[in-house]
Structure 1
Amino acid sequence: MKFSKLTLAIATTIGASASFSAFAIDLYVDTKTKQIYAEPGHGRVLMGAFERVEDKPVATPAEATEIADVRQDLEMKTNEIKALQEHMEEAEKVKVIMDKKGLQVESKDKNFKFKLGGRLQADATWNSNGNGYTRPAQVAGDPPVLGAPVDANDGTEVRRGRMRFEGVFYKDWLTRLEADFADNAVAVKDAFLQYNGFDFMSVTAGQQKQNMSMELLESSNDQMFTERSLMNILAAPVDDRALGLNFQHFSENWLVQAGAFGDSVAASSGTNVDEGWAINSRVVFNPILEKTKLIHLGVSGNYRQPDGNKNVLAAKNLRFDYETTHMSNLNLIDKTIDNPNNISQLGLEAFGMLGPFSTGGEYMQMWIA
């Protein structure tokens, strides 16, 4: 019968323990006389367990060599296990995930997180009888040139091509930078810092979406179609992303947002006029909020003062235009309002869901002075 080295080492250890238990004797020393006794007594202190040298098992040279080899092998394996444990502990300090949300890196204590993501959306269009239109008369200076032919263009394009960098610091601080590279140009979308350390409120500073219109606030990743609806021509020119300070209170069924904003980062910084500003707020209530059932009700309001040139957001005229597609220069609705003094808006929104079925709508009223 053959035994492994580990079995031999264990057997040797057990044998040594058995011998020790069988032949060991407790000895005591008298603290005054310094004499040694085999039994306890008054003034005697236990020295320990002792055994005769003659009683110790004598290993043969071959066994001694075998035991030494086993001990060395066990020591090496112990060191390997220790190194592996140290490596695992070091690896657990950083967690790396790659899924549909992008590349995510997270520290073990969750104090620091980083996410790299983005989106790529393509569009293709073909129109029937989309030629032969001319631009109606309008205010001079609006592109394209007055009276020029326009076309419901056919073609393909990258509608949205974005990169997003998002980080969390000390759990409560969130920062995000997102840029769009579509149209062969770079446009900054989000660029903000958010504090989430309060239990009842978050505070966001920087380039962000304003508190107006459910559809405008909805991500393009979640839209039913590539483009937003006709109502967006009232919201986008005034309520799109802008630099500002925003406060958001949320609970299980309620959402309250309020903020003050300037113009967007796309506005000209070299002009000698004052920047425009706006204040807006939005309240949302969900009387039913379940996994397969939802009722969403909301109301929002906005007041905007144009800049010194009577322009809005990106230093542009107040223009309401609705293009057939993003690549087309045929706008079914196209109207420019010159020199607005101020703009007020009121929006109502409702949305419902029951299992796989959902429906919703918005109403917006605008007053221009």
Structure 2
Amino acid sequence: MKLSKVTLAMAAILGTGAPSTIFALDLYVDKKTQQIFATPGPGRVHLGSFVKEDAEAKATGAGIAAGAGVATGAGVATSADVAAEQAEAVDVAALRKDIEMKAKMREARLVSDMASLEERVKESEKVHIEFHDGAPHFASKDGNFTFAVNGRAQVGSQYNFINEVAPPTGNNTPNEWNSGATLRRARLGVEGTFMKIWDYKFEYDFSRGNGSVTSGITDAFVRLNVTKPFSVKVGSFKEPFSLEEAASNRFLTFIERHMSVNSFVDNPNTYKTGIGANYAVPRFQFGVAFQTEPVGPWSSASTSVNNAGNQSRNNGSGDTSWEGIGRISGRPWMEDETKFLHVGISAGHTDVNTQYTAAGDIAATPSAQGGGGGGMAFFAFPGTNVDRTNMLNTGNLSIGNRNDPNARRIDSYDRFGAEGWLVHGPFSVQGEYLRTNINGLGYDNEHFTGYYGFASYFLTGESKAYHVRNGAANRIKPKQNFQWNGKGWGAWEVAAGYDYINLNSGVVRGGQADMVRFALNWYPHPNVKLQNNIIYTLNVDTSGSPIARTAGFNNAELAAWLTQLQFDF
């Protein structure tokens, strides 16, 4: 019987394990697989008994089998066959080593690829994107840098169903209000933080250009957050004055602010350039600022404009005006964010520059509403959002040649305000009193006053929200957003209020008026609001006004239905 090389190799290996004395081993081979076994079994054929001696192993030089090899019924492995089997075993070991090395290399490459993938994942996580209040917010993984886009659009309409005013005189246009629609505000801005302690904001209103690109700028500031409550900012930002002015126009109960807030704060442009400091915790807020003129002309009541009608000095021979202003507010009673009492006071002093020519006349010819060579005017419109014609108007408070004993010149004005706001679940009441004192040549204790008050109630159970840093109203979030299947109706709010302003004082005849307002507001989602207002004037007294348009509203009876659809992010 001829043995395979594997069989002989197996016999040789077994032979090497024999003791130094003579040792016989019976071997069996499987007829099908040709495998060698040391025990009998089914399908196995006895090869024979193999004997090994140490001396003979040394004689052969192989140390495996005896030279003669005594066997019963089988052949004996030769030294040549054993050497061949040993060479084959060396080849198998080398192959196994090569395979193991390649496996280790593949494993190393896999580990390297995993590390590279993890590094790429870490790189991708360095910028994190989230959506807050509907706006995309980008942030670095370490939190040092953030960036967000914000914006708002407010589309308004006005229908005047009572429009009884005096007819126009001379070449003047009609005095009655105009019905129509408008894009009340269209703002787009960016805001964010850098190195965690700094933040910034830039916002532009495309609806308030008034012929000047710069006048569309609202917020444009950089702020250092010294601590979580305390911050300092530089740039263009709102004056810290008035509860209603401190609230964003996105969160107002009525479509327009009340007459005194508009006249004393908003119309002269509440966004002014300067430096301010703010401290705010949930129960207390304090804001103070030193500011100058707005970035660009906003209205005819812009203070200290030069003879070009804008804020570029360019040899306008007039210094920039300035103001110091501040507000303190807080919640002396507070059970939680749905039950609290807010109170506050505001005060400010504003310097006004009136420019004269060498002859003593006011530089350029100021319009009846101010402007030209500087000065200041206050005016008011009764809460309309499309036709915002000045129903009340003081005219420019700087008039006449400076050498004329009857000339008047406003040098500064002082503002004061007191505010209160009670929230008790879905019910709330809010009110303010504001006063503006006029200082300058030809004026003696002239002052203007205004106040308002209103109540609101959420039919769906929501409460007014509080903005801690501003100390004012915040975004309303419905308990259930509106759904077409009727499972959610959004938030519904009703409100009613009274509004009064008086621009008559001493030698100034700007007029006085009062009115009532009613509101039905629907908040289908936190970022969408539909407002409906009814406004009705109770009394308008503009008798004695030197301005024909203002005099035409004397004893007017006016009523309008206003709507505004707002989307913001």
Same fold (TM over 0.5): yes
Q: 1:177 aligns with which of 202, 220, 224?
A: 202
Question: Per-residue deviation at 1:207?
Answer: 0.9
8 Å CA contact 2:127–2:139 kept in 1: the answer is: yes
CA contact (8 A) 2:354 2:374 kept: no
Q: Matched residues in 2 for 1:338 and 1:146: separation? A: 24
Correspondence list, 1:287-326, <5 A: 287-289=332-334, 290-309=336-355, 317-326=376-385
Choose the corresponding residue for 2:234, options 185, 192, 205.
Answer: 205
Cα distance in 2 for partners of 1:97, 1:161 equals 24
User: Does structure 2 conserve the Cα–Cα contact (< 8 Å) formed by 1:151 and 1:328?
Assistant: no
Counterpart amino acid of residue 121 in structure 1: Q
Cα offset, 1:341, TM superposition: 2.3
Give matches, 1:237-248, under 5 Å.
Answer: 237-238=267-268, 240-248=270-278
Q: How does 1:40-51 map to 2 (within 5 A)?
A: none
Paired letter, 1:111: N
Counterpart check, 1:345 vs 2:424: no
Pick aligned residue for 2:295 from 253, 265, 282: 265
2:246 partner amino acid: L
1:86-140 CA distance string (max 9 Å, x none): 111111211122342522111111111111111111111222243765468xxxx
Determine helix, strand or coil for the equivalent of 1:87: helix
2:265 partner SS: helix
Q: Which runs of 5+ in 2 are unaligned?
A: 1-88, 298-309, 356-361, 363-369, 399-409, 440-569
Larger deviation: 323-332 or 337-346?
A: 323-332
Larger Rg: 2
Deviation at 1:60, TM superposition (A): 9.2
What letter matches 1:88 in structure 2?
A: V
- Root-mean-square deviation (CA), in Å? 3.3
CA distance in 1, matches of 2:348, 2:135: 35
SS for the counterpart of 1:272 is: coil
| Residue correspondence of structure 1 range 87-102 to structure 2 within 5 A | 87-102=120-135
Aligned to 1:334: 393
1:8-54: CA deviations, max 9, x gaps? xxxxxxxxxxxxxxxxxxxxxxxxxxxxxxxxxxxxxxxxxxxxxxx
Secondary structure in structure 2 of the residue aligned to 1:341: strand
Q: Deviations over 1:239-264 (max 9, x none)?
A: 71111111222334221222211111
Shift of 1:201: 2.5
- Give the TM-score taking structure 1 as reference length: 0.72
Is the CA contact 2:158–2:180 (under 8 Å) kept in the aligned structure 1? yes
Matches within 5 A, 1:1-369: 74=107, 77-130=110-163, 133-134=166-167, 147-182=172-207, 186=213, 187-198=216-227, 201-232=230-261, 233-238=263-268, 240-267=270-297, 268=310, 269-270=312-313, 271-289=316-334, 290-309=336-355, 317-339=376-398, 340-369=410-439
User: Which one-letter code corresponds to 2:281 in the other structure?
Assistant: S
Tell me how far apart the structure 1 counterparts of residues 354 and 397 of structure 2 sit (CA, whole Å): 13
The verdict on how the C-alpha distance between 1:361 and 1:324 changes in structure 2, with shifts beyond 3 A counting, is closer
Which residue identity does 1:338 align to in structure 2?
L
> In structure 2, how many angstroms separate the alpha carbons of the residues matched to 1:359 and 1:349?
11
- The SS at the match of 2:249 is coil
Over 3 Å counting, the alpha-carbon distance change for 1:199 and 1:124 in structure 2 is closer
Letter of the 1:215 counterpart? E
**Partner Cα separation in structure 2 for residue 324 and residue 259 of structure 1:** 28
TM-score, normalising length: structure 2: 0.48
Go from structure 1 to structure 2 and tell me whether the alpha carbon gap of 1:188 and 1:66 turns closer, same or farther (over 3 Å shift).
same
**3-state SS, counterpart of residue 127 of structure 1:** strand
SS in structure 2 of the partner of residue 148 of structure 1:
coil
The 1:64/1:335 distance shift into structure 2, 3 A limit, reads same
- The Cα of 1:194 is off from its aligned counterpart by 1.0
Distance 1:301 1:183 in 2: 27
1:79 positional shift: 4.0
Q: Is the 8 A contact 1:276 1:308 kept in 2?
A: no
Q: In the alignment, is the contact (CA less than 8 A) between 2:177 and 2:387 conserved in 1?
A: yes
**Corresponding letter in the other structure for 1:205:** V
Q: Distance in 1 between matches of 2:267 and 2:112?
A: 67
| Contact 2:137–2:148 (CA under 8 A) maintained in structure 1 | yes
Kindly indicate whether the alpha-carbon contact (under 8 Å) linking 1:214 and 1:349 is maintained by their aligned counterparts in 2.
Answer: yes
Preserved contact between residue 324 and residue 331 of structure 1 (Cα < 8 Å): no
Secondary structure of 1:88 counterpart? helix
AA in 2 matched with 1:343: Y
Closer, same or farther: CA 62–146 of 1 in aligned 2, 3 Å: farther
* Identity within the alignment, %: 23
Change (3 A) 1:204 1:228: same
1:49 paired residue number: none
In structure 2, give the amino acid aligned to 1:156.
A
Give the letter aligned to residue 341 of structure 2: I
Q: Which has the higher contact order (CA 8 A, sep 6+)?
A: 2
| 1:161-215 CA distance string (max 9 Å, x none) | 1111113121111121111001566510011111112466311111111121111
Unaligned runs of 5+ in 1: 1-55, 137-144
Give the Cα–Cα distance (whole angstroms) in 2 for the partners of residues 251 and 118 of structure 1: 27
| Counterpart amino acid of residue 207 in structure 1 | S
Q: Distance in 1 between matches of 2:249 and 2:287?
A: 21
Q: Please state how far the C-alpha of 1:68 moved relative to its aligned partner.
A: 7.6
